[in-house]
Amino acid sequence: MAAAAKVIGAVRLGLVDIRVVIEELNTEEMQRDPQILMELNEVLMYNNMPSHNSKFASEKAKPRSMNPVLVAVLPQTQMKYFEVETKTWKPLPYMTQVVEETQSCFCAEYAGNYLYIAARKQSGEFPIYRYDTVNNSWKILPPFSGSNHQINCLCSVNDYIYAISESNQPLQRYSVANNNWQSAANLSFFNTSDGQDMLSTVSAVVLKSKICVIHGYEREEREYRSNDAKWVVKAGVVHFFDPVKNEWEQKASTCHPHFGSSLFVVNSRLCVAGGDISYDDDFGVSYGNWPVEVYDEKNNTWSVVEQKHIPSNKLGAVEIEGRVYFIINKFPIDSGIRIPPEEQYHVSLNEWENLSDVSPEAVLCYLPVKRENLKTENGESQTD
């Protein structure tokens, strides 16, 4: 029985039906062994409270031979993934399509064994879906109070999924363990606003267990001579949210305006890239080129990163600390290209040109997928 306990303790729950495990362990013979009884207790806890932050969940629920691949999620369309070897997008027939009545997808976040997608239904509802990577199935999370608006960003911290909107809506957090929602504090920015401020477009990322958010910012001002009101583009507004304290803290604004930009982390430093420097909210039209900036947390300052080695391209390519990233559909992708300090020429991006051959409406994310599931409809492996 001691040997059996060791074998059971080595089982990855991501490879088996958890209900079968519970049934097999919940017998009088099995429960005589303290180790097996402990394993049964752990399995029951995981089944009812699948905390993706716990060591047990991260180890036990990890399916074997899972490779993170770049996946494009679109409603009513077969999923695709980007095959790095051939630098092309290929179908992912294994992955079940998003719920049928979905009209649009806005953002994604992978946590634990689940992929969370914020979307819009044809009925006008704004659900958040959860895709189970082990069982290849979708479900809809319970709605939160006032969930009649678009969610633009999803972030995971510990046992919670945070939903962020570009509009002046309170932050919402979903408890993975309790399957319910809670409203968090609203942006402190609006507490001192005189009503002449407007935030539009948003991007968010987690850094050191805090949620970092950047908004495009415009302020209504009056012209000196005509006294006519006019919306003036300002530098991007940055806030950090502390989940423990349920508090927002406004940080230094960026050096330049940023609308529709991407916020991501490189070498533990906050970076903003992509998007535009101005935005016409009435027509949804963006103008101008965008700078790349990095944040100095110690001094609470932003600085512009020169782009000496990036040629003209359609990949949203940027260089940050010797690394080349692509910004596709607001999603940052590490190309793996590294620029040595002594390099004097542009890097070559030609082999990556197919990366942009994806619908602008697609939501991109990295998703662990078993190698055997990366197959064509004819059953041939796409990685061979």
Residue type (1 letter), 259: F
Distance CA 100, CA 89 (A): 23
Tokens of 4: 């059996």
Q: Which of 115, 104, 162, 167 is nearest to 139 (CA)?
A: 115
Structure token digits, residue 84: 């790095």
Question: The dihedral of CA 270, 271, 277, 282: what is its sign?
Answer: negative
C-alpha–C-alpha distance, residues 334 and 241, integer Å: 26
CB 144 within 8 A of CB 183: yes
d(CA 118, CA 68): 21
pLDDT at 286: 43
Q: Contact at 8 Å (CB) between 287 and 280? A: yes
Residue 13 near residue 25 (C-beta atoms within 8 A):
no
* Residue that the structure tokens 């958040």 belong to: 128
CA distance 207 to 230: 36
Query: What is the pLDDT at residue 376?
Result: 56
Tell me the CA end-to-end span of the chain in Å, nearest whole number. Answer: 42
CA atoms of 126 and 333, how far apart (whole Å): 27
Separation CA 283–CA 198 (nearest Å): 16
Contact 144/126 with Cβ under 8 angstroms? no
CB 177 within 8 A of CB 154: no
Q: Which pLDDT score is estimated for 63?
A: 53
Task: Supply the pLDDT for residue 288.
Answer: 47
CB 280 within 8 A of CB 219: no
Note the pLDDT of residue 5.
Answer: 47
| Alpha carbon distances (Å) from 59 to 46, 47, 52, 314, 365 | 11, 14, 10, 39, 22
pLDDT at 59: 54
CA atoms within 13 A of residue 355's CA, in its CB half-sphere:
25
The Cα 13–Cα 62 span in angstroms is 7
* Inter-residue contact 382 to 374 (CB < 8 Å): yes
Cα–Cα distance measured from residue 216 to residue 278, given in angstroms and rounded to the nearest whole number: 8
Q: What does the pLDDT read at residue 74?
A: 92
* pLDDT of amino acid 265: 98
Mean pLDDT, 10 residues at a time, the chain of 384 residues: 50 51 64 64 59 52 71 92 95 89 96 95 94 93 88 96 88 95 84 74 96 93 74 93 96 95 97 79 49 97 96 95 97 96 96 96 94 65 49
Is residue 340 a contact partner of residue 349, using CB atoms and an 8 Å limit? no
3 state DSSP class of 370? strand
Strands (DSSP E) contained in 208-310 are: 210-222, 229-242, 247-250, 262-266, 269-273, 278-280, 285-287, 293-296, 301-304
CB atoms within 10 A of CB 83: 16
Q: Give the C-alpha distances (Å, rounded to integers) separating 85 from 67, 88, 93, 383, 384.
A: 13, 8, 19, 7, 9
Closest CA to 302 of 209, 214, 187, 204: 214
